[in-house]
Chain A
Amino acid sequence: MSDLFKKELLFKILVVGDFGVGKTSIIKRYAEGTFSPKYKMTIGADFALKQLDWDSETRINIQLWDIAGHERFGYLTSVYYRYAVAAAIVFDLTRPDTFFAVAKWLADLRDKVSLPVGRPLPVIILANKGDVAANKVPPQIEEFCKKNHITSWYVTSAKENRNIDEAMNRVVVEVLENQRNNNLYNSDSVMLAEEMHTDKHNNGQLCCSR
């Protein structure tokens, strides 16, 4: 999938969370620098590209996959999870129940995607709509992250462009770290792709990294 040797990387990053939490807004803000209060809803999945010149010799192409949050499609979304290297789980600060759903999304991700050599997928949490309810951050979030080995979470606002770039940079750092470690084991990412493909037939037996 990506071309590691020419220092041009391709990262597939999933953006998940309950419906209406602002996944599309965050992605549009990050990839296109725009915000509109009226995005059309996503059916299935949508995606956007962002090119990031990370340092003088690395260019990163980020594929952001916007995955529909409606539960009726939930069991169909695993096809979109293939080859993902990281994920952002979004919840809506104005709707507490969307925070409780974060655990469900995390379990889903950990269940369906895992990196080779059993590493868990790097995940960050985005507490969105920080422009309206920045003071409503659920107190449990710190403990939740610690318990689930999530290194960072951010209060974001797609509307006011708050913390989005910072959060995405953090994800990229984690992915790069992961890749560096992976390279010790396996330098060919195409191989990895093949492996994951064949494992799909075993009903995801491999994916029990919990």
Chain B
Amino acid sequence: MTRQEIEKDWEWLFSNVCETLHSFDKEEDITEFVIKKIESVMATNQECQDFEDEDSKSFKITMDKFHQLFNLPRDEKLVNYYSCSYWKGKIPRQGRMYLSVNYCCFHAYILGLETKICIRWSDVIVLGKTNSVLFPDSIKVAIRGKEHYFSMFLRKAETFNLMEQLADLAAKRLIDERRGFNEDKDLLSKLSKNVPKKPSFLKRDLDARAHSEAYRLLFRLPHTEKLDGSIDCTLMTPYNKRHVSGRLFLSQNYICFDSRVKGQVSLIIPLRDVKLVEKMETSASNPSLDKAIIITTKNTIDKTAFLFAQILDRDFLVQKLSELLARTNDLIFGRSNGGGDAQLQTVEFAWKCQPPLMTLFPLTVIPDVLKKQKEKELKWESHFNVYGRGISMYRTTDISKLVLDGIPDSLRMDIWMAFSGAANEKATHPGYYKSLVNQALLQQSTANDEIERDLHRSLPEHLAFQNDTGIDALRRVLCAYALKNPNIGYCQAMNIVASVLLIYCAEEEAFWLLATLCENLLPDYYNTKVVGAVVDQGILDDLLSENMPNLHAKLVKLGMLNMISLSWFLTIFLSVMPYESAVNVIDCFFYDGAKVIFQVALMILKLNQEELLNCRDEGEAMQLLADYLMGVHNDDGRGAIRNKSYDDQQRKIRVQDLIYKAYTNFGTISTGVIEKFRLKHRLKVVQELEANFENNAIRSVASDGYMTSIELQSLLNIIREEYLSQKKMMSEKNDPAL
């Protein structure tokens, strides 16, 4: 901005705004008015620009045609269109597929015959690629009672991915009504280079979402993290003095690196830890240090610097980095201020954050266990010396091995915090937990009542929870979370998870781990219909039928797969295994993501396959598995003393062996595989829920005899149609981005 421009704006303000200011009495009012005025002017200007930049002219013409053809409101946003054919009976009709935010449409007009199809994404039950004699190489879209087949796409993979994404967004909106569709306007102002022209702004937005999603999964970052860009480079790995080639990723809060060779090394640096970014002088003698930068972190224990080299577009990256860094510093400053204010407003309760409860309520020492813990600590310490410690350690296969063997009790908290990303959440929200607790304890709510009832049944075998100190800490963590996330509130099973977190972690850390678990690792698990857990149950069913078809058939016959797996998923085995064994699974879970639960679940079933196949009824099978799981033991850890029958349990398998076998037998089940499955099952589960709900409603009303079930069904369809379009409008009205 030049001085001239500033003066011009000032003149405008002076002539347009100052006149009206006389009508105010108070000075505060004047200030407020002026701020509002400037804000609104900025907003309108922004909008004008957006409209110019968003979409090309030709795309707008198509969009108009799309609205006309299908008689859709003008605010229905078209994402993209593709040429393809639709199978009407045995005849393919060549035409165009239009994909919009809420609909999948098709139109063909050949030889006077018109074909028009309009499917709402939120009605889709199955979306898949098929290849049959009748419908060769097609995309199948199924809604209740009807299937549609499309084929002859020019870019089938791209089309299918987009369809999947749109259907998934629709399903997620049905799960969580408040989750509207927000276009990401940040993208418009984003400083980018070499971005190929995309047909529509929305398509660009959706592509960016997909990339961010993949990025977050790769590094297990918070669900709000948006990928800014990525670039090829090398990372200097000091532990073996090599330059590893790979890719550097940049988002609002993180710099990440992943080696080209999978698993070789990865690195996560939170931007808030970054102290300095420097360009290195290029030296002719060492070509591997060409175009290098050094990132220094604020790590107080041992000053750490990371060296990236061979960055083709180094200047751009550095510019980008300094831009993001400037924003990060503002953010932390702003937030910590906000936290301070909130504290002043609420009543201070007399409580303090508890340290890990295992330190307050130590269990009687078993020499063997203590020795093993010490040995492990030594191993981890020497690992830290080589690869660094905390979030920004170099993550190699060496650490995977250590994690698989179980993290020592004393290090659990720090490692869990680092791997899960909860450490970053805690660091960027100082004072937040405290103010949440103070507010939550003041409140009367159903969530609080439900929590109260469950406090004593969470981990009753541990001394810490036979005591007010532990119970109070558990209450605070759960009530604070219920207040933080009213969408979830409180769901049973969260108490079991939280109580174990509190054994190993300090109170505030336990809170952030619980939040990360609920929001990132196990999405929608604890909401009012535990949809996420039901989705994952469906995935386990699929995986089992793929891997052990005989056992799958048997369990289906006994009707028991869903009986056993609910608690496995909701409590990550904590409610079915001795907790000191289950925490080893949680070690892997925080390190490797939710896929671990599937691997371990499948391994448990595989190890019991023969016996399960011989079970006569579901009770016998349930007992078998319950006994087996209680027999998963951990000689390196030590649990609380339990009742006699518990200690009499047979020792079935070392938890370390179980985990190791799970990884080797089911290594192909990656996070990516699980995400693909989740997408497919989410559609199905959401539709089943809706259908169930409708059937129940019809059944309870039909008994009145005024209308037949069929009449009621069609009435319901009309209401649903209206309701969905209403909801759509509401969500768009409430959408701050629009």
> Which A residues are closer than 8 A to B by beta carbons?
1, 10, 12, 19-20, 32, 34, 36, 38-41, 43-47, 49, 63, 68, 70, 72-73, 75-76, 79-80, 82-83, 197, 203, 208
Known contacts being A32-B645, A203-B695, is A70 close to B567, with CB within 8 Å? no
Q: Mark B174-203, 1 if CB is under 8 A from A, else 0.
A: 000000000000000000000000000000
Pairwise interchain contact B617-A70, C-beta atoms closer than 8 A? no
Q: Which 10 A-B pairs have the closest CB atoms?
A: A38-B460, A44-B566, A43-B567, A41-B457, A70-B492, A63-B619, A44-B567, A20-B453, A43-B575, A1-B617
Inter-subunit contact A19/B453 (CB<8 Å)? yes
With A36-B643, A72-B528, A75-B692 known as contacts, the answer to whether A44 contacts B563 (CB < 8 A) is: yes
Given A12-B619, A75-B692, A79-B559, also A43-B457 (CB < 8 A): no
Contact of B492 with A43 in the complex, beta carbons under 8 Å: yes
Q: Quick check: is B622 within 8 A (CB to CB) of the other chain?
A: yes
1/0 contact string of B542-585 vs chain A (CB within 8 Å): 00000000000000000110111011001100010000000000
- Does B266 reach chain A (CB closer than 8 Å)? no
Judged by a CB distance under 8 angstroms, whether B371 is at the interface is no
Tell me the dominant secondary structure on chain A's binding face. loop
B273 to chain A, nearest CB (A): 38
In the bound complex, what is the Cα–Cα distance between A82 and B560 (angstroms)? 10
User: Closest residue of chain A to B537, judged by CB?
Assistant: A76
- Residues from chain A with a CB closer than 8 A to the CB of B530 are 72-73, 76
Tell yes or no: B454 within 8 A of A by CB.
yes
Q: Are the CB atoms of B495 and A73 closer together than 8 Å?
A: no
Quick one: CB contact mask for B481-495 with A, threshold 8 Å, 1 for yes? Answer: 000000000011101
Is residue B147 contacting chain A, with contact meaning CB distance below 8 A? no
Nearest Cβ in chain A — how far from B499, in angstroms?
Answer: 10
Contacts of B382 in A (CB 8 A): none
Q: How many A-B residue pairs have CB under 8 A?
A: 89
Bound-state Cα–Cα, A45 to B562, Å: 11
CB distance from A204 to the nearest CB of B (A): 9
Q: A49 is contacted by which of B493, B563, B623, B645 (Cβ under 8 Å)?
A: B623
Contacts of B493 on A, CB cut-off 8 Å? 43
**Residues of the A chain whose Cβ atoms lie less than 8 Å from the Cβ of B699:** 208
Bound form: Cα–Cα A39–B643 in Å:
10
Asked if B695 contacts A72 (CB within 8 A), the reply is no
**Chain B: CB-nearest residue to A64:** B619
Decide if A19 touches B563 in the complex (CB within 8 Å): no
Residues in A whose Cβ lies below 8 Å from that of B461: 38, 40
In this complex, the member of A34, A70, A83 whose beta carbon has the largest number of chain B beta carbons within 10 angstroms is A70
Is B458 in the interface zone, CB < 8 Å from A?
Answer: yes
Give Cα distance in the complex from A39 to B567, angstroms.
16
**CB-defined A-B contacts under 8 Å, sample of 23:** A1-B616, A1-B617, A19-B492, A36-B460, A36-B643, A38-B456, A38-B460, A39-B457, A40-B459, A40-B461, A41-B575, A43-B570, A43-B571, A44-B567, A44-B570, A45-B563, A70-B492, A76-B530, A76-B566, A79-B562, A82-B559, A203-B695, A208-B699
Bound CA span A43–B461, Å: 17
B655 within 8 A of A: no
A79 vs B459: C-alpha distance when bound (angstroms): 27
B529 and A75 form a contact (CB under 8 A): yes
Task: Decide if A41 touches B563 in the complex (CB within 8 Å).
Answer: no
Contacts of A76 in B (CB 8 A): 530, 534, 562, 566
User: Is B602 engaged at the interface, CB distance under 8 Å to the other chain?
Assistant: no
Select which of B491, B616, B695 is within 8 A of A70 by beta carbon.
Answer: B491
Asked if A41 and B643 sit within 8 Å, CB to CB, the answer is no
Specify the chain B residue showing the minimal Cβ separation from A41: B457
Q: How far is the CA of A12 from the CA of B559 in the complex (A)?
A: 14
Minimum CB distance partner of A39 in chain B: B457
Once the chains are docked, how many angstroms separate the CA of A75 from the CA of B643?
Answer: 33
Q: Please state if A80 and B454 are interface contacts (CB–CB under 8 Å).
A: no
Point out the residue from A20, A38, A47 that lies within 8 Å of B622, measured CB to CB. Answer: A47
- B559 with A49: CB separation less than 8 A: no
Docked Cα-Cα span, A20 to B564, in Å, equals 21
Asked if B282 is at the interface of the complex by the 8 Å CB criterion, the answer is no
Q: Which of A12, A34, A41, A82 contacts B492 (CB 8 A)?
A: A41
Q: How far is the CA of A20 from the CA of B458 in the complex (A)?
A: 12
Q: A68-B492, A70-B491 are in contact. Are A41 and B454 (CB under 8 A)?
A: yes
A73 to B527, CA, bound (A): 10
B322 interface residue (CB < 8 Å to A)? no
- Shortest beta-carbon distance from A19 to chain B in Å: 7
Inter-chain CA distance A130–B582, complex, in Å, is: 37
- CB of B623 within 8 A of CB of A40, answer no
With a cutoff of 8 Å between Cβ atoms, the chain B residues found around residue A12 in the complex are: 619
Nearest to A32 among chain B residues (CB) is: B645
> Is B496 located at the chain interface by the 8 A CB criterion?
yes
**Separation of A44 and B496 alpha carbons in the complex (Å):** 13
Across the interface, which residues of B come within 8 angstroms of A208, CB to CB?
699, 703
